[in-house]
Amino acid sequence: MGSRFDEMRIFAGNGNLPLARAISERLGVPLGDVTIVKFSNENIFVRLNESVREKDVFVIQSLSMPDLSDRIMELLILLDACKRASAGRITAVIPYYAYGRTDKKDQPRVPITARLLADMIQVAGAHQVMTIDLHAGQIQGFFSIPMDELTAMNLLVRYFADKGWNDLIVVSPDVGFAKRARNFAEALNAPLAIAEKRRLQHFDRKDGSLTVPEILNLIGDVRGKRCLIVDDEIATGSSILEVVQLLEKEGASEIYACCVHPVFAGNAIERLRASPIRELVVTDTLPVAPERRWPGLTILSVSTLIAEVIQRIHSGVSVDTIFQHRRHPALS
């Protein structure tokens, strides 16, 4: 099936240029010529140095740190530039969608920033959006334009399935991720354990103070087992390292971990590197600089997945058929 647009154009912000280049190479379409400058007054200037009139434009920008706000503004300004240059269709390709944890009002007088970001992307000019493994699935509903949420969990499943371990148990780091972890475990034909954090109120009769300590419990037996902690993202690493300590206490023989988005905020890398985790497997939805990597870190690329979806969107072919022969039914 041919595209209803003349040609495809791919532009990239500074959020994850190595991934954008890999996607471009797999598609055989060079990255578009664009100038992105941050002036001394911190204003960001964008200029497309080639025509996009009636072209099928894909703007690749992962909302990464550092300078997250700059990455967001680059995306919005790139979209606006494409819109004002009369692009035929504009697709925002956002491998990692920031502010995914602010998807609801869980306290009085707080914003829903994930919804605000969705509104800005649409106003800026995106006709559709593509992303990978949202922290909260309901964010899809924040968009009134087509939204394709891809999953990289299949990549992680295949990587560990190829190891052929028969003593593996999958561990969810919290109850909230238990459903996705269960699907992951089913795909690997492995049992599931769940780390459960409870807050227990304690009233001190002497001074009348009320404390709420957190106690981490484990649902499932991991003694003598090879444990694989699975999550959608790792930010500071605090939660996953608490689970690691619990698994050691419960007699796990070896501990591995995996996630889709390596946010690695603060000193997360130093803490993870020094931890008992034998191997941490992530994807390249977010960049990890070569000097920040360590022998126990494995990075799988999502470039093939994104490139194939871009090609199908451009050609007007169903995206879902990609996964029908690749994914385990448990991950559907």
Catalytic positions, written as ranges = 197
Measured distance CA(109)–CA(97) in Å, rounded? 23
Total Cβ atoms within 10 A of residue 51: 13
Say which residue, 329 or 18, is predicted with more confidence. 18
**pLDDT at residue number 146:** 96
Q: Can 8-151+303-331 and 154-300 be said to share one CATH topology?
A: yes
**pLDDT at residue number 202:** 56
**pLDDT at residue number 211:** 52
CATH architecture group of domain 154-300 = 3-Layer(aba) Sandwich (3.40)
**Could you check whether the bond before residue 262 is cis, i.e. omega within 30 degrees of 0?**
no
Mean pLDDT of 43-48: 98
Q: Report if pTM > 0.75.
A: yes
Over residues 285-327, the pLDDT tens digits come to: 999 999 999 999 999 999 999 999 999 999 998 887 776 545 5
**pLDDT at residue number 331:** 60
Measured distance CA(117)–CA(100) in Å, rounded? 10
Indicate the class that CATH gives domain 8-151+303-331: alpha beta
What is the overall mean pLDDT for the chain?
A: 92
Q: Where are the domains of the chain?
A: 8-151+303-331, 154-300
